[in-house]
A and B are shown apart, each in its own frame.
Chain A
Amino acid sequence: MATVFFLPNTVEEACSILEEWGDDAIITNGGTDIVIDISKGNLIPHANVCIWNINELHQIKMDGDYVRVGGAATYKEMMNSSLTKEFPGLIEAVSQIGSPGIRQVATLAGNICTAAPAADGCTMAMGLDAQIVLKSATGERIVPLSHMMIGRGKTKRRGNELLTAILIPTSKKNCAYGRLARRRASDIAKVMVGASLEIEDGICTRAVVSLGALGPVPCRAYSIEQKLEGKPIRTGIEQLRGVFPEEAKPRISQFKRYKEQALPTLLVRTLELAAQRGGA
């Protein structure tokens, strides 16, 4: 079986290819994940739509109350953009993914669509309550990132849709990201926490907390958010000392105990950092 390779230059072109090939097509960009499967011969797609030449998808720009990160924007482009730099937690997350050679081509959109359990970019974006723009030849829809992933390797993206942007609310700039890994670079973290806090007069009005590497896909820690909202932020965080979020469900592995031992500490530290950035 052979693969048909497409290298579209526009979103319209890409969408019309996807309309034709649907689930038989894979979308690649940096390829840092999927090309390994292809080169090993484990994956021989019917069609491969490589979107890295679509210039408009590399853009990072303002879009109303959101920063719009294009579906082909690389981590490196995010680290260099003055707009994404406003979200310190996001930079903390993406600047620790893989290695510089990976960050040069890998994208947040790819990180989301792969729906892997330990995804730094996706975890932090979820902690920013990001929204996902999915576009097809026939229309466009927006899905909250928190609802995007439905299982390991599975998302709500339909075969004919292209993830064209990740929308990050500008209200979430007081954010922080924490990860714990065994090595300082090029290591998949064992515990990941993303958080953004909206604070007015010391009171937490809105908290978004996300967890990575603690279940089949990154998830929201709604129980933690509830414990924080409506309280003085310092008090709220203080009450969380030693709390293990009920949403975290580490699978049985040699790292399970570590995740259980370290998550409460990392959670509180990440929240404290976000609160500090919020002036509290």
Chain B
Amino acid sequence: MKRDTVIGSSLIRPDALAKVQGRAPYVADIKLEKRDCLIGRALFPPYAHAKILSINTSRAEALSGVEVVMTAKDLPGLNGYGAAALDKPVLADKIVRYQGDPVAFVAACDKKTADKAVALIEVKYEPLFPQTDPKENLKPETPLIHEDHPMSKGTNISSSWRVERGNVIAALSRSDIVLENDFETQIVDHAYLETDSCIAEPDPVTGILHLITQGHSAQLNCRSLAAAFGLPHSKVHVTIPIVGGSFGGKEDSNLEVSVMAGVLALKTGKSVFCEYTREESFRNTGKRHATHSHRKLGATKEGILTAVAADITVNKGAYRSIDPIPQRMTMYGGGVYRVPNALVEARSVFTNQVYGCACRGLGVPQAMFIIESQMDDLARRLNMDPVELRLKNILRDGDTMITGQAIKKSQGLGLEKCIQAVCERIGWDKPLEQSDDPSIRRGRGIATIMYGTGTGYPTDGAHCFLNLQMDGSLMVGIATAELGQGGIIAMTQIASEAMGIPYNMVSVNYSDNHSSPEAGATVASRSTVFHGNAIINGCNILKDRMLCCAGQILGEDPRDLDIREGIVYTRQNKERSIPLTEAIKFAFSSQVPLTTTGSWYPPLNHLDPIMGQDTRMHTYTYGAQAVEISVDIGTGIYTLDRCVSAFDVGKAINPMCVEGQIEGGVTQGIGYAMMEKFELRNAMAVTDTYHTYLIPTSMDLPKLETILVEEPNELGPFGAKGIGEPPVTAAAPAIRNALFDAIDIPFYSLPITPIDVLDAIKKKKSPVVNRQERAATKNLEK
């Protein structure tokens, strides 16, 4: 029996052909087939913070074609929903806390009529001062954004965390070098191409409300919304067809249109479709959090890190949404390094602006920008090569993070390999070729990162339904949302390998809360590992049952049997085999169940919440990225010439999909570094189109060079680790460090646009020189 494996094979994903032919239906496409669907639209306030004095809907209601107009008094359930806290009002009642708080909903026969009706609603507001500065909102005398928040009582703090280890004050006072800097990171939009949309259909027979929507977990959508519908979870049926990009955004941002469609459907008894315009999607939906950090880094004159102290304030925006940002920014406060002393504190603060939600990386892009930038400042101070400095300090087998978690080789520890791989590919040891053009300065930069697989919460685990069929095929019910990452093919490959059947015999029923159990969301770079392991464990249960049956048929000890390509065979004598279908028939006639639940959860996290000491993640993905840039010192415009990335993914289940994740993530990181910034004026969005909010185009990128490193995670499915988010985290510091190298100017805020670069060059007192020129000057001084 040949030992073919689909693990590590770049199988073609099943959705690809339908997508290239335009036949794959997204939510808005499914709506096209529903002829009598009403269209729901919302009225949003012209202020970010205001009291609602009165609402008059009579003119809107009188408009022909309008089915219903709803305000807060007309809701079927709780006026609150949300992924982590039910703190976001379905409809604003008395107060609006940001410009995306809807004041009224309309359902009408078509969009034109609905929009016309929205325009006819008269609202009287009393504008209030928009409280947009998190630092101000921390002061005790500042009014509360939420008078009565379900989780944050009597303060504007949404969440906070601290990590303390060793004695920072003593260690810093003993350090030869202490760097102290302030860093700012900006708000970023996910800019997924498919705007937020949902179809809600009430079932008159069962009373079930069916939502065809977007999201990262059908179960999470259901839990976040059911109270607002006044329905038990069992009567909120959520299905998530393929999603046109999300990157964390649709984990809860799409709840805005879902709750609107749902309450309108319940009110009218008819199907309702709600879809944000691009402008609404930009203005209203969650974003990557803006942060401010004050950070001290101590080191010996030999370049050994001694201590880190950081104080971080996160701009939460109006609602809690997904908010482990303070926790993530503190747990990764030491970066990929051994730092024996640490005190990192962070808190997120409510403000009157668009809320921060999960955005590919969940606080880690911000954390890594700060840490890796300061590492290059330190290298410069020590006159040491940035790679040499990193290699002196990186976590190695047995070292502990600032959370006290010991890093183990058995979890997969390919950090050094990643650094070596990018250095070798980019030619780090060779001098960078400079340009003949006198206005061009070239530079090179590197950054290294780590990123845990999973949410790190005690609730983190996954379950799936497996249903073996009489013909030897397998139905897998698993809550993996297909956001574009290749979840379906990854789950198919894992199930095929684990069950021992050809991959085309596996069918994955993804993203339906009625046909798959809770598995946690397709977030936190966790699906491949968590969902994959649940499938493997479930397949092992079914496999054991089938081997017992086959053993009885063959007269062999089941322990001597295995399944490959749908054949049960004896390991010692491969001639002795039967088709799996024979074993299944035997099982069926012997009342052996063909279905099971598969489950997996990582080792328990030992948590010390006071000191933030824990073992939160069972494994970490590591990575390094090196870039080369050219800066035009006359205009500030700089070009990314090369971008080499290496990530230790444990095991690439489908290498083509893994490369795709890396290339796409790296590109988002490049956008974060070079151009992306969601801007507000008086807490109202300014950048609400694709021509004001810029993301990278094909012309802004060099060829992206990607290297896969595979250091197996003993707990991962076939050794795998997560790769969804890690790639987004390294580009910003790598580019920042390359700029530092090229023009000798360190930047401390993102993004770094040509406007910022030119301004910094103009402010610089000394001439703009690159590394080689600096080296030459130094030699002269010597």
Question: Which A residues form the contact surface with B (CB < 8 A)?
Answer: 41, 180, 182-188, 190, 254-255, 257-258, 261-262, 265-266, 269
Which residues from A are CB-within-8-Å of B135? none
Check A185/B700 contact, CB under 8 A, given A180-B635, A269-B634.
Answer: yes
Which residues of B does A touch, CB under 8 Å? 112, 115, 634-637, 675, 691, 694, 696-700, 753-755, 758-759, 762
Chain A residues within 8 Å of B691, by CB: 186-188
- Determine which of A180, A188, A190, A258 lies in contact with B759 in the assembled complex, contact meaning CB atoms within 8 Å: A258
Given the complex of chains A and B, what is the CA–CA distance between A15 and B377 in angstroms?
A: 67
Q: Which of A185, A188, A261, A262 contacts B699 (CB 8 A)?
A: A185
Cross-chain pairs A/B with CB under 8 angstroms, 5 sampled: A185-B698, A258-B636, A258-B754, A261-B758, A266-B634
Selected from B115, B636, B700, the residue in CB contact (under 8 A) with A183 is B700
Q: Which of A183, A184, A255, A258 counts the most B-chain CB atoms under 10 A from its CB?
A: A183
Is B754 in contact with A180, judged by CB distance below 8 angstroms?
yes
Whether the Cβ atoms of B675 and A183 lie closer than 8 Å is yes
A180 vs B753: C-alpha distance in the bound complex, in angstroms? 12
Q: Is the CB of B637 within 8 A of A180?
A: yes
* Across-interface contacts of B758 in A (CB, < 8 A): 258, 261-262
Q: Would A258 and B755 be within 8 Å (CB), given that A186-B691, A266-B635 are in contact?
A: yes
Chain A nearest Cβ from B500, distance in angstroms: 49
Q: What is the bound-complex CA distance between A182 and B635, given in angstroms?
A: 11
Q: Say whether B694 contacts A261, CB under 8 Å.
A: no
Shortest beta-carbon distance from B184 to chain A in Å: 15
Q: Is the CB of B700 within 8 A of A262?
A: no
CB-based nearest A residue for B277: A40
B284 CB, min distance to chain A CBs, angstroms: 18
Q: Is the CB of A261 within 8 A of B754?
A: no
Given contacts A185-B700, A258-B759, contact A265 B694 (CB under 8 A): no
B115 to chain A: which residues have CB within 8 Å?
A: 41
Q: Is the CB of B634 within 8 A of A182?
A: no
Q: Shortest Cβ distance from A36 into chain B, in angstroms?
A: 10
Q: How distant is B743 from chain A, measured CB to nearest CB, in Å?
A: 15
CA distance A188 to B694 in the complex (A): 11
Q: Pick the contact of B697: A185, A258, A261 (CB < 8 A).
A: A185
* Inter-chain contacts of B634 with A (CB < 8 A): 262, 265-266, 269
Return A104 CB to nearest CB of chain B, in Å.
Answer: 17
Cα(A69)–Cα(B135), bound, Å? 58
In the complex the two chains form, is B637's CB within 8 Å of A261's CB? no
User: How far apart are the CA atoms of A184 and B691 in the complex, in Å?
Assistant: 13
Given A187-B694, A188-B691, A262-B636, verify A182-B754 contact (CB < 8 Å): yes
Q: B residues within 8 A CB of A183?
A: 675, 694, 696-697, 699-700
Of all chain B residues, the one with the shortest Cβ separation from A264 is B634
Seed contacts A41-B112, A180-B637, A185-B699; 8 additional CB < 8 Å A-B pairs: A182-B754, A184-B700, A187-B691, A258-B754, A258-B755, A261-B758, A262-B635, A265-B635
In the bound assembly, the distance between CA atoms of A186 and B690 in angstroms comes to: 10
Q: In the assembled complex, which residues on chain A have CB atoms less than 8 Å from the CB atom of B636?
A: 258, 261-262
CB distance from B437 to the nearest CB of A (A): 11
Q: Which residues of B contact A262 (CB under 8 A)?
A: 634-636, 758
Q: How far is the CB of A38 from chain B (nearest CB, A)?
A: 13
Q: Is the CB of B675 within 8 A of A261?
A: no
Cα A1 to Cα B748 with chains together (Å): 54
Residue of B nearest to A99 (CB): B697
Report how far A185 CA is from B699 CA in the complex, Å: 6
Closest to A259 in B: B755
Query: CA A258 – CA B637 in complex, angstroms?
Result: 11
B-side contacts of A188, CB under 8 Å = 691
Q: Which residues of B contact A187 (CB under 8 A)?
A: 691, 694
Residues of chain B within 8 A (CB-CB) of A265 are 634-635
Query: Is the CB–CB distance between A182 and B675 below 8 Å?
Result: yes
Q: For the complex, what is the distance from the CA of A262 to the CA of B754, rounded to whole Å?
A: 10
* CB neighbours of B694 from chain A (8 A): 182-183, 187
Q: Is the CB of B635 within 8 A of A257?
A: no
Q: Which of B675, B696, B697 gathers most chain A CB within 10 Å?
A: B697
Give the residues in chain A near B700, CB-CB below 8 Å. 183-185
Q: Is the Cβ of A255 less than 8 Å from the Cβ of B697?
A: no
* Chain B residues positioned under 8 Å from A255 (CB to CB): 755
Tell me the complex Cα distance, A187–B675, Å: 11
Distance between B556 CB and nearest chain A CB, rounded to angstroms: 65
B699 touching A184, Cβ below 8 Å? yes
In the assembled complex, how far is the CB of residue A35 from the closest CB belonging to chain B, in whole angstroms?
15
C-alpha spacing A66/B733, complex, angstroms: 53
Q: A183-B675, A184-B699, A269-B634 given as contacts; is B759 within 8 A of A261 (CB)?
A: yes
Complex Cα spacing A180 to B697, Å: 16
In the complex, chain A residues whose CB is within 8 Å of the CB of B696: 183
Q: Which residue of B lies closest to A183 (CB)?
A: B694
- Check B755–A184 contact: CB distance below 8 A: no
Residues of chain A within 8 A of B635, CB atoms compared:
180, 262, 265-266
Contacts of B697 in A (CB 8 A): 183-186
Q: Which residue of A lies closest to B695 (CB)?
A: A183
Question: Which of A182, A184, A257 has the most chain B CB atoms closer than 10 A to its own CB?
Answer: A182
| Cβ contacts under 8 Å, A254 to chain B | 755
Please indicate the chain A residues that have their CB under 8 angstroms from the CB of B759 in the complex.
257-258, 261
Closest 7 CB pairs of A and B: A184-B699, A265-B634, A185-B699, A258-B755, A185-B697, A184-B700, A183-B694
Specify the chain B residue showing the minimal Cβ separation from A184: B699
Please, which residues of chain A bring their CB within 8 A of the CB of B754? 180, 182, 258
CB of A80 to closest CB in B, whole Å: 20
Alpha-carbon gap, A246 to B694, bound state (A): 31
**Minimum C-beta distance from A42 to chain B (A):** 12
Nearest-neighbour CB distance to chain A for B781, whole angstroms, equals 31
Contacts of B755 in A (CB 8 A): 182, 190, 254-255, 257-258
Q: Specify which chain B residues have a CB less than 8 angstroms from the CB of A190 in the assembled complex.
A: 755
Min distance, Cβ B512 to any Cβ of chain A, angstroms: 35
**How many Å from the CB of A256 to the closest CB on chain B?**
10
Collect the chain A residues with CB atoms within 8 Å of residue B698's CB.
Answer: 185
Which has the most chain A C-beta neighbours within 10 Å: B635, B691, B696, B753? B635
Residue of A nearest to B636 (CB): A262
Most chain B CB neighbours (cut-off 10 Å) among A41, A184, A190: A184
- Distance, CA A185 to CA B701, complexed state (A): 11
Please tell me if the beta carbons of A261 and B762 are within 8 angstroms of each other in the complex.
Answer: yes
A248 to chain B, nearest CB (A): 16
Cα distance, A257 to B700, chains bound together (Å):
24
Q: How many Å lie between the Cα of A132 and that of B699 in the bound state?
A: 34
Distance in angstroms between the alpha carbons of A255 and B759 in the assembled complex: 11
CA distance A266 to B758 in the complex (A): 13
Residue of B nearest to A260 (CB): B762
Chain B: CB-nearest residue to A188: B691
Considering the chains assembled together, what is the distance between the CA atoms of A185 and B696 in angstroms? 9
Give the distance in Å from the alpha carbon of A180 to the alpha carbon of B675 in the complex: 14
What residues on B are CB-neighbors of A184 within 8 Å?
697, 699-700
Query: What residue of chain B has the Cβ atom nearest to residue A98's Cβ?
Result: B691
Per the bound structure, the CA–CA distance linking A190 and B675 in Å amounts to: 14
From A265, which residue of chain B is reached at the shortest CB distance? B634
Query: Which residue of chain B has its CB nearest to the CB of A268?
Result: B634
Bound-state CA distance A188–B762 (Å) is 24
Docked complex Cα distance between A265 and B753 (Å):
18
| Chain A residues whose C-beta falls within 8 Å of the C-beta of B753 in the assembled complex | 182
Nearest-Cβ distance from residue A199 to partner chain B, whole angstroms? 24
B406 to chain A, nearest CB (A): 44
| Complex alpha-carbon distance, A269 and B438, angstroms | 13
In whole Å, how far is B187's beta carbon from the nearest beta carbon of chain A? 15
Query: Which chain A residues border B637 with CB–CB below 8 Å?
Result: 180
Q: Which A residues are CB-close (under 8 A) to B112?
A: 41
CB of A265, distance to nearest CB on chain B (Å): 4
A180-B634 Cα distance, complex, nearest whole Å: 11
> Could you tell me the distance in whole angstroms from the C-beta of B501 to the nearest C-beta in chain A?
46
Q: Which residue of the partner chain A has the closest CB to B755? A: A258
Shortest Cβ distance from B119 into A: residue: A41
State the Cβ distance, B280 to closest chain A Cβ, in Å: 13
Interface-centre pick from A186, A254, A258 (highest chain B CB count, 10 A): A258
Measured between C-beta atoms, what is the minimum distance from B541 to chain A in Å?
A: 53
Q: For the complex, what is the distance from the CA of A266 to the CA of B637, rounded to whole Å? A: 12
